[in-house]
Structure formats: structure tokens, C-alpha cells
Amino acid sequence: MSKRCVRVGLFGWGNVGTGVSRILLERAHLITEKTGFQLELVRIGVRRLPVSRPGISFDPSRVSDHPESILNDPDIDIVVETIGGIEPAKSYILQALQQGKHVVTANKALLAECGEELFAAAYRNGVNIHFEASVAGGIPIIKALREGLPANEIQTIYGIINGTANYILTQMTEHGTEFEDALAMAQELGYAETDPTFDVDGHDTAHKIVLLSSLAFGVPIQLEHIYLEGIRHITPKDIQYARELGFMIKLLAIAKRDAKRVQIRVHPTMIPERSMLANVHDVFNAVCIVGDAVGTTMFYGRGAGQMPTASAVVADLLDAAQLIEGGGPVPPPYGWNGHCNHDIQIESISKSRSRYYLRHIVEDRPGVLAQISGILGAHQISIATVIQKERHSENSVHLVLMTHEADEDSIQTALRQIDGLEMVREDTTLIRVEMIE
Ligand code: HSE
């Protein structure tokens, strides 16, 4: 097979960048055999020299702390950005696009915040931004949405799309580990973002669902459209009580659409323990997409880590290589291509309905349950199950309630009243329930 050579410049030689360089240097033969392209890693841009990576043999004279040595090199066809964060990644990407270079990035935060500007710049310059690695690591979910399901109106997306949060919840579920200890373990394993609050407070999940739902619904979704709640307040006790009720707790990204409205939220969610998503453990991610023609589909794989993410980056490099060979600009992705679904309104979570798990810590004395159920009843919230658990501390107990379906507005109003009661010791823990298959 004749080889077609495409030259690559890489910004960032951290966890993901190292994986990309490893694949490009060690699997060149396999990639060429499968695709006919030779991806030549010309230069690596780092913040500070000297840098080397154990076990990777790369000419040190081609590692540079001058970004221009990549951006202004006319022989470099594609720029890979694995720096993360907004700056300098954004400036490098804009400069690369202006120089007519295709860009491959794993940077979900940047695309979620500045996608419109960056995709427009790419289109103006007749090149593309590829971003498969930005959502769900090694799972080709962007490709699935864009190329596998264009015949569908997408109705629902349910995703476990943060490996760190899923790893933490798995440790808490399987071993009763406290949140902080499980987070430290995830950091040691290299799953967490540089700032792990992005993982545990749901920001990383929100960035990813911005990208998936923009592609799915054709509307440029903004971060402020998304209801966001992380997993810090979940305790091993909540996980244990959820299991007693037949549920698992997962950090889910949920995007639902009806004819005119889209609702997007990220929060810990109780899902039936027999559902497929409940059985996605550790750093694994899974995304369920429901389309009106195809029905339910599910995509599963490693959502974080060096080599899974690098695998997606290299797939994008090959897509860009094909564009270079085919020539001609490709329009920006659905959601950012100017043909918006203008009819669609973004709806606030306050309009949603679901079942709720409520854990109260209350004084152990007569009449407490009657007061709480009275307030819930006054707001048309019907109780499905009540469990009173063992003592929490001296003279206080855990009272766990599962409601039938209720309005979010009503439950929030009721909780404000309940948490104001003198016999309620701490703010109630609320977890929304989704009855998914
Ligand atoms: N910190 C992210 C995660 C890495 O845990 O999923 C991939 O985006």
C-alpha cells in the first residue's frame, strides 16, 4: 500500500499527550497498515524544557517551548491540543486554524465555553476541529451521534460520562469507602482532572453534555442552561439505603427533549439496580441515546485514562488526514452550523417531575414523621416508602423517604419548610430517581 504522509504537531506532553506520542511512535506500522496514512509526529510543544518521557524515544531537539515552532511550521498539517483549560489552548487553536491547520482536541471545557467562536473560525479558514476525545474517552460517541444516527430525532441522552465520579461512587458502593478516600485513590490512578472539583462537582460532566446535546438537538447549548449538582454530599449510608430500596446511585448527565423543549441536568441519580447503567462501574463510562428511528442504543467503554483518550485522538487524526486528502471545508457540526433548531426552548429543572429519595436527620421523638409527612402531603407529594434507620447520634435518627412522582417546585418548597423544623437536625439530602431500563 502506498503511504500518504501527514505531519502532526502536538501541544502538551502530559497524561493524554504522552499516550498520543506513544501510539504515533510505537504503532505507526499498524496505523499505516490499517489506513494507508503515515502520521508523522514532527514536534511536541511543552511549557518548559527540558522534558522527556520514560520509555518514549523521541528526538529531544524536536521538543520545543516555542509554540511558534509548531504554529508557524508550514509542514505541519494537523495540530493536536492536549493542554486542557482555556488559555493558552484557545490561542494556540485559533492560530493553528488561521494557519490552515486542522485541529484535534480533547478539551471539553474549551469547546463547551467557546465552541461557537472556535467552530466559526475553523469554517472561515476551511479546516476542521475534531473532538472525539473530549467526551467519554475512548468511546466513539461523537462519531456515533454525527455519523451513526443522523436519521434520528434524538429524544433522550443518559450518560455516565465522568470516570472519576463513577470510580468514587463504585468504591463507596462496593467497599463503603468515604468520599475523600475514594477521591484520593482516583487521583493516584490519574483519572481526575488537574482540579478534581471539576470531576466531583459535575463541571466536567456538564462540559461533556453541552457537547453531546448540542450535537443531538441542533441547538448551541450553554453551560448556564444546565442544572448542576455534584456528588460531594453523597455518603456511603445513602448508597446503602438506596440499595435496600433496589437502586444504585450514579452521577448522570440527562438530556430530554419533547416537541418544543429540552431539559438538561447533571446530578446524582438513583436508578434501578437492574438497569444497564447501574452496572457500569469504576472508570467506565456509558451513554444511552434514544432516537425516534433507532430506539435505544448504548455505548460503553473507558471514559478516562491515558491510552483510551489517546485512542480517540488518533482516530480524529485519521479523520483529519482523510479531509486533507479529500480537500474542501466541511461545515461546522450540528448545533454550531448556524441552522439551529430555533423552535426549541431550554426548560428549567423546576419544571421537571420525578420520584425523590429524601434522607432526614431528625430527633427521635413522637410526632416527627407526622409533621414531615404532613408538609409533604400539603404540597401534593405522596410517600411510597418510609424507613427509619438506626441512631445517627445521640437522640437523632436517619429517616429515609421515597416519594411517588412529584413536581420539583413542590418538593423544593416542602423541603424548605421541613428543614426549618426545630426537630430536623441537618439539611435533608435529596436524590432524584430516574426509572430507566
Ligand atoms: N477526569 C475525566 C474523567 C477525564 O474522570 O472522566 C476524562 O474527561
Mutate to test the pocket of ligand 1, among 83, 111, 197, 199 (most ligand atoms within 8 A of CB): 199
Q: What is the CATH number of the domain that holds 185?
A: 3.30.360.10
Question: Is the distance from the beta carbon of residue 193 to the nearest atom of ligand 1 less than 6 Å?
Answer: yes
Counting beta carbons within 10 angstroms of the beta carbon of residue 192, is it exposed (0 to 12), middle (13 to 18) or buried (19 or more)? Answer: buried
Q: Is residue 99 located within the same domain as residue 36?
A: yes
In the reported structure, the alpha carbon of residue 108 is separated from the centroid of ligand 1 by a whole-number distance in angstroms of: 10
Confirm if 202 and 234 have CB atoms less than 8 A apart.
no
Dihedral sign, Cα of residue 198, residue 211, residue 431, residue 174:
negative
Q: Which phi and psi angles does 258 have, rounded to 5°?
A: -115, -165
C-alpha span between 144 and 182 (Å, rounded): 32
User: 292 is written with which cell numbers?
Assistant: 425516534
Q: Is residue 233 located within the same domain as residue 361?
A: no
State residue 342's pLDDT score.
Answer: 66
- Residue matched to cell numbers 520545543: 64
In the reported structure, the alpha carbon of residue 373 is separated from the centroid of ligand 1 by a whole-number distance in angstroms of: 40
Q: Is residue 151 located within the same domain as residue 135?
A: no
Confirm if 137 and 312 have CB atoms less than 8 A apart.
yes
437 HSE (CA, 13 A, CB side): 8
What angle, rounded to 10 degrees, do the helices at 179-188 and 163-175 form? 130
User: 65 is written with which cell numbers?
Assistant: 517551548
Question: Is the distance from the beta carbon of residue 162 to the nearest atom of ligand 1 less than 6 Å?
Answer: yes
- Is residue 250 among the annotated active site residues? no
Question: Is the distance from the beta carbon of residue 199 to the nearest atom of ligand 1 less than 6 Å?
Answer: yes
Rg (C-alpha) for the chain, rounded Å, is 24
Is residue 54 included in any domain, yes or no? yes
Question: Is the distance from the beta carbon of residue 303 to the nearest atom of ligand 1 less than 6 Å?
Answer: yes
Question: Is the distance from the beta carbon of residue 201 to the nearest atom of ligand 1 less than 6 Å?
Answer: no
Is residue 32 included in any domain, yes or no? yes
| Among the listed residues 398, 415, 414, the one whose alpha carbon sits nearest the alpha carbon of residue 364 | 398
Q: Is residue 173 located within the same domain as residue 129?
A: no
State residue 156's pLDDT score.
Answer: 97
C-alpha span between 150 and 329 (Å, rounded): 20
In the reported structure, the alpha carbon of residue 187 is separated from the centroid of ligand 1 by a whole-number distance in angstroms of: 11
C-alpha span between 227 and 350 (Å, rounded): 10
Question: Is the distance from the beta carbon of residue 132 to the nearest atom of ligand 1 less than 6 Å?
Answer: no
Q: What is the CATH number of the domain that holds 122?
A: 3.40.50.720
- Residue ID of nearest Cα to ligand 1 atom 4: 304
C-alpha span between 362 and 59 (Å, rounded): 65
Is residue 332 included in any domain, yes or no? no
Q: Is residue 134 located within the same domain as residue 266?
A: no
| Residues ≥6 apart with Cβ < 8 Å to 28 | 38, 39
Question: Is the distance from the beta carbon of residue 192 to the nearest atom of ligand 1 less than 6 Å?
Answer: yes
Give me the catalytic one of 208, 250, 256, 260.
208
In the reported structure, the alpha carbon of residue 193 is separated from the centroid of ligand 1 by a whole-number distance in angstroms of: 6
Structural domain span for residue 293: 144-303+342-346
In the reported structure, the alpha carbon of residue 161 is separated from the centroid of ligand 1 by a whole-number distance in angstroms of: 8
In the reported structure, the alpha carbon of residue 323 is separated from the centroid of ligand 1 by a whole-number distance in angstroms of: 28
- Residue ID of nearest Cα to ligand 1 atom 8: 304
| Rama region for 256: left / alpha / beta (φ>0; ψ in -120 to 50; rest) | beta
Average pLDDT per block of 10 residues along the chain, 437 residues long: 87 96 97 96 96 94 98 98 97 98 97 96 95 96 96 97 96 96 91 87 97 93 94 96 97 94 97 98 97 98 92 97 82 82 84 96 92 97 90 82 97 98 96 95
Mutate to test the pocket of ligand 1, among 160, 193, 205, 282 (most ligand atoms within 8 A of CB): 193
Question: Is the distance from the beta carbon of residue 173 to the nearest atom of ligand 1 less than 6 Å?
Answer: no
| Residues ≥6 apart with Cβ < 8 Å to 119 | 129, 332, 333, 336, 337
Q: Is residue 220 located within the same domain as residue 297?
A: yes
State which ligand 1 atom lies nearest to the alpha carbon of 108. 8
Confirm if 255 and 174 have CB atoms less than 8 A apart.
no
State which ligand 1 atom lies nearest to the alpha carbon of 106. 8
| Among the listed residues 348, 377, 386, the one whose alpha carbon sits nearest the alpha carbon of residue 263 | 348
Q: Is residue 110 located within the same domain as residue 164?
A: no
Prediction pTM value: 0.94
C-alpha span between 208 and 120 (Å, rounded): 20
Q: Is residue 367 located within the same domain as residue 320?
A: no
Number of domains observed in the structure of the chain: 3
Q: Is residue 125 located within the same domain as residue 253?
A: no
- Residue matched to cell numbers 453531546: 212
Question: Is the distance from the beta carbon of residue 191 to the nearest atom of ligand 1 less than 6 Å?
Answer: yes
In the reported structure, the alpha carbon of residue 15 is separated from the centroid of ligand 1 by a whole-number distance in angstroms of: 12
Confirm if 37 and 6 have CB atoms less than 8 A apart.
yes
b/e burial code for range 137-159 (CB count within 10 A of at least 16 → b) = bbbbbbbbbeebbeebebbbbbb
Q: Is residue 42 located within the same domain as residue 155?
A: no
Question: Is the distance from the beta carbon of residue 282 to the nearest atom of ligand 1 less than 6 Å?
Answer: no
